[in-house]
A = this chain, B = another copy of it.
Amino acid sequence: MNRLRIFFLALLLSFSFDILPMLGTSLAKWIYYPGDFEIWLTKNIALRRTERNQPYPPMWRVDPAYGTVVFSKRISLMKPEKASIAVDGKYFIRGLNNAIMYEYNPKSFTLPAGNYKLSVFVENYQTVPSILFESESYPSNSSWSASSFNDDHVEASEYNSSSPTQPPSSFRLKTVPQECKLIEETVDYRLYDFGKNSFGYPLLKGVNGNGKILLCYGESKDEAMAGKLAETWDELDVNHLSVRNDTLATKAFRFVKIVKSGTALYNDFSLLYEFLPVTYRGSFSCSDDTINQIYQTALYTLHLTTRECHIDGIKRDRWVWSGDALQSYMMNFYTFFDEDVNKRTLWGLRGHSPVNKDVNTIVDYSFYWMIGVDYQYQYTGDTTFVKQIYPRMKETMEFCLNRLNKNGMAQGKEGDWTFVDWAPIDKKGEISFIQLLFIKSLMAMKNSATLAGDEPMARRMQELYVCNLKQFDSTFWSPDKKAFLHNRLNGRLSQAVTRYTNVFAILYNLVDDERKAEIKQSVLLNDSIPDITTPYMKFYELAALCEMGEQAKVLDFVKSYWGGMLKLRATTFWETYDPKLPADKHYEMYRRPFGKSLCHAWGANPVYLFGRYFLGVYPIASGYKEYIVEPNLGGLKNMKGVVPTPHGDVSVAMDSKQIVITTGGSVGGMLKFRSKTKPVCKQGLIEKIGLDQYNIRLEKTNTRYEVRYKQ
C-alpha cells in the first residue's frame, strides 16, 4: 500500500527514470531467514551470563542461526538492469540459466534480461546470513524467499534497515553515560553508588600501573561489600604504564566496590547505561502517591528487563524464560507496546527443530510459549508473525501431544522439570494446573492453525480442547470443596486444593459465572488455602481477583506488598519478597547470600494490573479491532492513564463523578461502567444493560468522550 503510494508520488514528481534507482534503493530492506536474527540475538544473551566471574551457559540447547541460507527471487526483465548487493557473510549468486555470476563478491553488477530465478547463497556461521539487494524492479523484501536447506522455501523476513552498513547483526541497544557518587573511601577500597539499580558497561578511566583492580558489583550495598561473594565481579590484570580506559562486559548493579592492589591505578569510574529505546506510551497515575511510586518503579523495572528480549532479571539469570516472558508480553502491551521485543523473545525461546525438550526444559513453559503466540496475536493482530512461526508452534504441540500419558493428560516424564511455582507443592502425577495450561494451549493452537490456513489441525485442536476440558472438569472439580483439586497420582485423586488451577480457571474463562463465584469464595478469599508467595503467581491471582471485581482488595495488597519493598528502599522490584523477613535477610536465594535478583520482570506486574483492571482497557477482537474500556477506581479517589493499542492510545481519566475516554484509531470500543444515577454523555449513545449498568459504544476515532455518572 505504502509502496504504491510512494511509487505514484515518484511518478508525479518526475517522469525521469533517473529517480527509479533511488526509489529501488529506498525500498530494499535487509532480509534474513525467519526467526534467525532473533535466535542469534537470544543466543548472544543466553551466553552472556556470568556468575562470580565464570561463564554460565543455559542448561537447554541454544541454537545459532542457520549458517547457510539461500535467498531467491523470480526475475523477469525485458532489458538488463543495474543492481547492487550488500551481504553479511560470504556469498555467490546464481542468475540466468542457473549459472554462477563470476565476479568475486560483485557488489555492483548487471541483472541480465530474461526470465530466471536469482539465488544468493550466503554462508555466515558467526552472526546471521542476510542480504540487502538493490535494484529498480527487485529490491530485497519479504517477497523474496529464503531456504535453510531443510526442504523449506519460506517468505524472507525484513529487517528494518536499508543501509548497506547496518545488517541485522549490527543490532545494538542504546547507551548513555551515567555518573555515580563516591560514597565511601578507605585505604582499602572505594564504594560508588548510582542512586538506583542500573545496567550497562562499567567504565574505568585512566587505568595504569602494575597489579589488579577488583570490581565487586551489588544490587545492594551489602552485596558490593561482600567482595567475591557478590554474584558478579570483574578482576582486571593491569600491567602497563600507558594510561587506558577499560570498558567491561555489562553488569547490573547500584553499588560498586573497587579494590586496587600493587601499583594499579584508575582515576574515574562510571557506567555506560544500556537500554532498549522504547516509548513510554502507557501510563497511570492516581490520587495515591505510594501507588504512583509503585507504578513508576515497576515501569523502570520492566524497562530494565525489556531488552534484546524479555529477560527474567538484569543481574541473574539474564536469560529468556518462557513463563517469565509471558508476563512481560502482557506488561509490554500496557506500557511500551513494543511488538518487536515480544517477537524476538518468542522466536528465541523456540529456536530451531527438532524439539527434543520442553521450552527451557520445563513442561509448563512449552504451554506458556504457545499461549504467548496467541496473546501476541490478540493484542497486535499481526497475522504475518503467526503464519511465520506456525510450523514451529505445530512442532511444539506435536512434541507435547507425543508426551501425553495413557489418559491423554500432560504429565512430566522421568527427568522432566514441572515448575508451576517456587512453592512446596506436590509436582507428581497428573497436575490439574498443567492440564489447564495444556487446554489453553490447545485453544491458542486452534487459533493459530486457523490463521495459518491449517484447517485439519484447527479441527483436531478443537476436538482435543473439548475432550480435554471435559476430562479436566470431571476429574479435578470437587463439588464438595467447590474447587479444582491439585493432582492425581497413580489414579488416586489428591484432596489438596491449591490456588493455581482455580485462579487460572477464572482467568482463562474455563468455568461459568456461577462456578467463578464459588471459586472466589472457596479459594480466592479462603485463608485456609496456602498463600501464593511469589510475585510470579501473585500476578495471576491478583488478576483473577480483579476479574471478580475485587480491585479494592488488590489495591490494598499492591500497596502493602510492593510498598513494602519501597520501604526497604527498593529502586526496582524483586524476584521474591517476604515481608516477614528481617531487613538484613532479604538478599539470599538459591543457597547463595546474594542470589536473589533485585530487578526481576515479574516484579513489575502493577503496570499490567493498573492498565488492564483499573483503567480497564483490553481487546476482545484481535489487534483491538474491538475492545472494552471498563474502568474501576478500586477505592482510589481518582486516576488517569493511557493504554497503547495498534491504533493509537486510549486514555482514561476517572473520579467519582466523571469518566473521560479519548479513543484511538479503532471504531470498535465499548465503555462499560456502573452509575447510581442516569449518566450523561454528549459524544455517544448510552445503553442501559442492567441495574446501574451502562454501555457506550466508542465508535468515533480520536474522540474525547465525557461521561457524567455517580459512583
Contacts and interface: CB of A to CB of B under 8 A. Distances in A.
The A interface, classified by DSSP as helix, strand, loop or mixed, is: loop
A207 to B, nearest CB: 20
A60 B51 CA distance: 39
Interface in A18-62: 43, 47, 51-62
Contacts of A151: 356-357
A562 B632 CA distance: 91
Contact of A354 (B51, B54, B353): B353
Max chain B CB contacts within 10 Å: which of A60, A92, A357? A92
A394 B357 CA distance: 20
A64 B125 contact: yes
Interface string A107-146: 0000000000000010101000000000000000000000
B54 A62 contact: no
A102 B54 contact: yes
Nearest to A61: B149
A82 interface: no
Contacts of A59: 70, 121, 149
A105 interface: yes
Interface string A72-109: 00000000000000000011100000011011110000
A122 to B, nearest CB: 8
A351 B123 CA distance: 17
A275 interface: no
Given A149-B357, A357-B150, A357-B151, A62 B67 contact: yes
Question: Chain A interface residue count: which class?
Answer: 35 or more
A66 interface: yes
A169 interface: no
Contact of A55 (B55, B62, B92, B103): B92
Contacts of A62: 67-68, 149
- With most chain B CB atoms within 10 A of its CB, the pick from A52, A67, A70 is A67
B68 A105 contact: no
A104 B235 CA distance: 11
A514 interface: no
A104 B62 CA distance: 23
Interface in A293-349: none
A53 B67 CA distance: 20
A148 interface: yes
B54 A121 contact: no
A150 B352 CA distance: 12
Interface in A556-587: none
B150 A61 contact: yes
Nearest to A89: B55
B55 A66 contact: no
Contacts of A99: 591
B60 A149 contact: yes
Contacts of A61: 66, 68, 148-150
B104 A54 contact: yes
Contacts of A357: 149-151
A152 interface: yes
A349 to B, nearest CB: 14
Tally of this chain's copies: 2
A150 B356 contact: yes
Contacts of A354: 150, 353-354
A598 to B, nearest CB: 21
Nearest to A57: B123
Contacts of A103: 54
Contacts of A591: 99
A90 B58 CA distance: 13
Nearest to A123: B57
Interface string A350-373: 000110110001000000000000
B149 A55 contact: no
Nearest to A47: B123
A43 B54 CA distance: 30
A131 to B, nearest CB: 14
A56 B123 CA distance: 9
B123 A92 contact: no
A100 to B, nearest CB: 7
A149 B417 CA distance: 13
A54 B152 contact: no
Contacts of A105: 54
Contacts of A51: 92, 100
A70 B61 CA distance: 11
A694 B121 CA distance: 61
Contacts of A123: 47, 55, 57
A246 to B, nearest CB: 18
A107 to B, nearest CB: 13
A695 to B, nearest CB: 52
B57 A68 contact: yes
Contacts of A53: 104
Nearest to A99: B591
A403 to B, nearest CB: 11
Given A60-B149, A123-B47, A149-B61, A55 B91 contact: yes
Contacts of A43: 67, 125
Interface of A: 43, 47, 51-62, 64, 66-68, 70, 90-92, 99-100, 102-105, 121, 123, 125, 148-152, 353-354, 356-357, 361, 591
Given A55-B91, A57-B90, 15 more contacts: A43-B67, A52-B100, A52-B102, A52-B104, A53-B104, A54-B102, A54-B103, A54-B104, A56-B121, A59-B121, A61-B150, A64-B64, A64-B125, A149-B357, A353-B354
18 contacts: A47-B125, A51-B92, A52-B100, A53-B104, A54-B92, A54-B102, A54-B103, A54-B104, A55-B92, A55-B123, A56-B92, A57-B90, A57-B123, A59-B121, A62-B149, A99-B591, A149-B361, A151-B357
- Ranked nearest first, the 8 interchain pairs of A and B with the lowest CB-CB distance are A55-B90, A61-B149, A150-B356, A57-B123, A354-B354, A151-B356, A54-B104, A57-B68
